[in-house]
Amino acid sequence: MTSSSRPPALDTLAIHAGQEPDPLYAAVMTPIVLSSTFAQPSPGQPKRYEYSRSGNPTREALELCLAALEGAKSGFAFASGSAATLTLLSLLKSGDHVLCGDDVYGGTFRLLDKVVAPLGIGASFVDLRDLERAEKALLPTTKLVWIETPTNPLLKVYDIEGLAKLAQARGALLVVDNTFASPVLQRPLERGAGVVMHSTTKYINGHSDAVGGALVTSDPVLAERLRFQQNAIGAVPSPFDCFLVLRGVKTLPLRMRRHSESALLLAERLESAPGVRAVRYPWLPSHPEYALARSQMASGGGMISFEIDGGIAAARNFLSSLKLFILAESLGGVESLAEHPASMTHASIPEATRALLGISDGLVRLSVGLEGVEDLWSDIEQALACR
Ligand SMILES: Cc1ncc(COP(=O)(O)O)c(C=O)c1O
Stretch (H or E) spanning 314 = helix 311-321
Contact 124, 138 (CB under 8 A): no
pLDDT greater than 70 at residue 99 = yes
Active site residue 105: yes
Rg (CA), the chain: 21
The pLDDT, as a whole number, for residue 355 is: 87
Helix (H, G, I), strand (E, B) or coil at 202: coil
Q: What is the pLDDT of residues 127-138, one digit of tens each?
A: 999 999 999 999
pLDDT greater than 70 at residue 2 = no
Task: Say yes or no: CB of residue 213 within 6 Å of ligand 1.
Answer: yes
Task: Say yes or no: CB of residue 201 within 6 Å of ligand 1.
Answer: yes
Q: What is the mean pLDDT of residues 326-346?
A: 95
Q: What is the mean pLDDT of residues 243-247?
A: 98
Task: Say yes or no: CB of residue 177 within 6 Å of ligand 1.
Answer: yes
Rounded percentage of the chain residues whose pLDDT exceeds 90: 91
Task: Say yes or no: CB of residue 80 within 6 Å of ligand 1.
Answer: yes
Task: Say yes or no: CB of residue 19 within 6 Å of ligand 1.
Answer: no
Among residues 143, 202, 316, 387, the one annotated as catalytic is 202
- Take atom 9 of ligand 1 and give the residue whose Cα is closest: 81
Report the distance separating Cα 198 and Cα 180, nearest Å. Answer: 9
Q: How confident is the model at residue 348 (pLDDT cuts 50, 70, 90)?
A: confident
- Take atom 10 of ligand 1 and give the residue whose Cα is closest: 81
The pLDDT, as a whole number, for residue 350 is: 87
Active site residue 202: yes
- Residue 37 makes CB contacts below 8 A (sequence gap 6+) with 50, 51, 52
Higher pLDDT, residue 117 or 6: 117
pLDDT greater than 90 at residue 331 = yes
Q: How confident is the model at residue 182 (pLDDT cuts 50, 70, 90)?
A: very high
The pLDDT, as a whole number, for residue 379 is: 98
Contact 10, 253 (CB under 8 A): yes
Distance 319 CA to ligand 1 centre (A): 21
Active site residue 177: yes
The pLDDT, as a whole number, for residue 1 is: 66
Q: What is the mean pLDDT of residues 298-307?
A: 98
Whole-model pTM: value is: 0.96
Q: What is the mean pLDDT of residues 174-180?
A: 98
- Give the chain's mean pLDDT: 96
pLDDT greater than 90 at residue 3 = no
> For 32-36, 45-49, 197-201, which range has the lowest pLDDT when averaged over its residues?
45-49
Q: What is the pLDDT of residues 353-387, one digit of tens each?
A: 888 888 999 999 999 999 999 999 999 999 999 98
Report the distance separating Cα 143 and Cα 89, nearest Å. Answer: 10
